[in-house]
Amino acid sequence: MSHIEHLSQSVKSLNKQTKAYFHGDQWKEALVFFFFVLLAFGFWLLQSLQQEYEISLTFPVKYKELPADIAFDEEIPQQIMAKVKDKGSVLLNYTLGRTLLPIEVKLDNKEKQGVLHFSKKQIENDIQKQLLATTSLIEFEPQHIEASFSQRKHKPLPVKFDGDIQFITGFQLAGEIQIEPSVVDAYASAAALDTLQEALTQFTEVKKGNKTVQRTVALRPIAGVNLVPTTVTVTLPIEEYTEKSLNIPIICKGVPHHYKVRLFPSEVTVTCSVPLSRFKALSESQFEITIDYNELEQNASGSCYVHLTRKPEWVHTPTLLPTQVEFLLEHNEHYD
């Protein structure tokens, strides 16, 4: 008998034994047993849910209409812990299906200069509004909110984009990343503001970039500093690029009046990637190729490197050909 035939017979035998078990008296007895266990558990659960229990509920605290130019001198509570009592069936509403809304605290008590005050009665009323009629509020902590604050200093900060842009082949940034607003207001102590030079966006990743992207991005929080606004609109001008070549004349800078310089060749071919939308607009006048006379004086070989000193920022991967040129210094007869 082959291995496969033996395995097939074993499976058939196991199948017959399984069917015999489920049609036998033992399986029926097991089903009856589990039924009564489940029934007993149901009665126990119903009885338990009719009893009273105490649980703790957490209410978040939301501070509204706080001026950006104030700083609290101490840490302010971010949540209220309340202990409540009710039947188990009612308490399940809080733990399973009921969303607890924030307790809203506003700074509108101007008669106490420099102090935010939210009384025990106000907290209690806000908690009671969210409790069911049968639920008893036993206690809550903290029982009031009181925190002193002081005026902050102000400093405008330029916003800088922080992120990673991955382009599809043939696409690049077609200009500056635009941020609106480009400057935000920072409020903090004078010492803290002295250390700040810019505000960064949250790290933003763009994958497979093949068109202009515009996103609302949050600013990266700075400890002890209020930024207004807290979000900016970032526009990434992404376009398809193509290649273009231009012949740019070489300029020699710093040549004394009694000298003149001859260059061989006198111009360089610049090949670069340019956005399709600006292909026709790109011209030789937007580039500058230079040589410094001081480099010529120190070079006895008769050749020197050229430098690309000006180009549009939306032009990428410029290459120069040639990268070196030969030169000849001659006396300027007009100054002899």
Distance separating alpha carbons of residues 136 and 144, to the nearest angstrom: 19
Task: State yes or no: pLDDT of 335 exceeds 70.
Answer: no
Tokens 């102590």 belong to residue: 189
Predicted local confidence at residue 111, as pLDDT:
42
What is the separation of C-alpha 50 from the centre of its chain, rounded to a whole number of angstroms? 48
Contacts of 274 (CB under 8 A, 6+ apart): 241, 242, 243, 244, 282, 314, 315, 316
Distance separating alpha carbons of residues 199 and 185, to the nearest angstrom: 9
Predicted local confidence at residue 2, as pLDDT:
47
On whether the CB atoms of residues 287 and 246 are closer than 8 A, the answer is yes
Record the tokens describing residue 137, joined without a space. Answer: 């509020």
Task: State yes or no: pLDDT of 66 exceeds 70.
Answer: yes
On whether the CB atoms of residues 237 and 211 are closer than 8 A, the answer is no
The b/e string for 119-154 (b: 16+ C-beta within 10 A; e otherwise) is eeeebbebbeebbeeebeeeebeeeebebebeebee
On whether the CB atoms of residues 106 and 65 are closer than 8 A, the answer is yes
- % pLDDT > 90, the chain: 44
- Residue 37 in 3-state DSSP? helix
pLDDT per position as a tens digit, 88-129: 777 777 877 677 889 998 876 544 467 888 899 999 999 999
Predicted local confidence at residue 39, as pLDDT:
56
pLDDT per position as a tens digit, 131-141: 888 888 999 99
Chain mean pLDDT for the chain: 83
Which position has the higher pLDDT, 90 or 146? 146
What angle is formed at CA 58 by the lines to CA 57 and CA 61, rounded to 5 degrees? 145
Predicted local confidence at residue 207, as pLDDT:
92
Lowest mean pLDDT segment, chosen from 41-45, 222-226, 262-266, 316-320: 41-45
Distance separating alpha carbons of residues 273 and 243, to the nearest angstrom: 5
Model confidence at 260, pLDDT cuts 50, 70, 90, reads confident
Predicted local confidence at residue 67, as pLDDT:
81
Which position has the higher pLDDT, 308 or 29? 308
Predicted local confidence at residue 24, as pLDDT:
56
Task: State yes or no: pLDDT of 256 exceeds 80.
Answer: yes
- Residue 335 in 3-state DSSP? helix
Distance separating alpha carbons of residues 270 and 321, to the nearest angstrom: 7
Burial group, residue 331, by CB count within 10 angstroms (0-12, 13-18, 19+): exposed
Which pTM was predicted? Answer: 0.59
Neighbours of 102 (CB within 10 A): 15
User: Once rounded to an integer, what is the mean pLDDT over residues 7-20?
Assistant: 55
